[in-house]
Amino acid sequence: MLKVRIIPTLLYKDFSLVKGIGFDSWRRIGPILPAVKIFNSREVDELIFLDITSTNKGINPDYESISELSKFCFVPLTVGGGINSIEQVDKIIEIGADKVSINTACYENPQIISDVANRFGKQCVVASIDVRFENNEWICYKNSGLKKTNKTPLEWAKELESLGAGEILITSIDRDGLMKGYDQELISLLTNNLRIPVVASGGAGPFDDLYDAVSNSKASALAAASIFQFTQNTPNDIKKFLKKKGIPVRLNS
């Protein structure tokens, strides 16, 4: 079994980090760089930086902030938000990101996944899927959870995998920010039917639930935000807990 990754997610809006519940990210947390420096010191495996307003505003990613962030980020960095062209990806990789997370643009131009994978390799492409559960089924949403699509997560994840995605970031909008646990059934649905890694997101909280997401639902990585910003828990705490449970993690202390 490969070592499980613990990945803090940083949500960026109007020059500040934010967080909320169910994708209603209204609460301002503070500037980016202090958070990045803290996570650098806490043995995180990667960081995910998502600009949650660029797509809906129809503007380019904030290259200046991404460049500044990458200078102080000493772990692999995934950048998402507002990405809809290979030219933008070129720029984002050039200024220091290791991967890109693409969501809304995939629905409008699925070829972008293949274009990025062909140029930079599959390991560079994180296909992001945001999901709500309604009328007894999961439905994919785009535009930061504002617009409903006609896709269900499994069919869409399989299509993204076939196009060249290196991994899937699956987020339960319903559970986002609640810290009551991941949607284990949703995670399992993907891991049981895909060959590429699945990153669990949306609801990280109880440590036993984090363990279940890896041991039972077979997630390759655990992404989280609120648990690190609104509790005393650290990525190291999670890793130590998982290690005691027999889960392989990267842990230096």
Residues 108-125: what's their mean pLDDT? Answer: 97
pLDDT at 31: 79
Which of 81 and 40 is assigned the larger pLDDT? Answer: 81
pLDDT at 15: 63
Residue 56 burial by CB count (10 A; 0-12/13-18/19+): exposed, middle or buried? middle
Q: pLDDT category, 42, cuts 50, 70, 90?
A: confident
pLDDT at 192: 98
DSSP conformation letters of 197-243: -EEEES----HHHHHHHHHTS--SEEEESHHHHSSS--HHHHHHHHH
pLDDT at 23: 78
pLDDT digits 0-9 by tens, 153-201: 999 999 999 999 999 999 999 999 999 999 999 999 999 999 999 999 9
Q: pLDDT category, 90, cuts 50, 70, 90?
A: very high
Question: How far is the C-alpha of 44 from the C-alpha of 38, rounded, in Å?
Answer: 10
Residue 149, classed as helix, strand or coil, is coil
What letter would DSSP give residue 109? -
Q: pLDDT category, 21, cuts 50, 70, 90?
A: confident
Q: Which domain holds residue 73?
A: 5-244
Q: Considering the entire predicted model, what is its pTM?
A: 0.95
Whether 160 is in a domain gets the answer yes
Q: Catalytic residue at 183?
A: no
pLDDT at 26: 67
Token pair 């993907």 in the structure block, residue: 190
pLDDT at 37: 83
pLDDT at 28: 75
pLDDT at 43: 73
Whether 252 is in a domain gets the answer no
Residues 132-153: what's their mean pLDDT? Answer: 96
Whether 202 is in a domain gets the answer yes
Whether 249 is in a domain gets the answer no
Whether 129 is in a domain gets the answer yes
Whether 253 is in a domain gets the answer no
Whether 127 is in a domain gets the answer yes
Q: pLDDT category, 216, cuts 50, 70, 90?
A: very high
Query: Does residue 120 surpass a pLDDT of 70?
Result: yes
Number of domains into which the chain is organized: 1
The proportion of the chain whose per-residue pLDDT surpasses 70, expressed as a percent, equals: 98
Question: How far is the C-alpha of 143 from the C-alpha of 95, rounded, in Å?
Answer: 25
Residue 75, classed as helix, strand or coil, is coil
Of the candidates 51, 62, 98, 130, the residue annotated as catalytic is 130
Strands (E), 1-143: 5-13, 16-21, 24-30, 47-51, 77-80, 99-102, 125-134, 137-142
Question: How far is the C-alpha of 87 from the C-alpha of 100, rounded, in Å?
Answer: 12
Question: How far is the C-alpha of 94 from the C-alpha of 155, rounded, in Å?
Answer: 32
Q: pLDDT category, 29, cuts 50, 70, 90?
A: confident
What CATH number is attached to the domain comprising 127? 3.20.20.70
Question: How far is the C-alpha of 41 from the C-alpha of 89, rounded, in Å?
Answer: 28
Task: Give the contacts of 99 (CB within 8 A, at least 6 positions apart).
Answer: 76, 77, 78, 79, 123, 124, 125, 126, 166
Mean residue pLDDT across the chain: 93
Whether 250 is in a domain gets the answer no
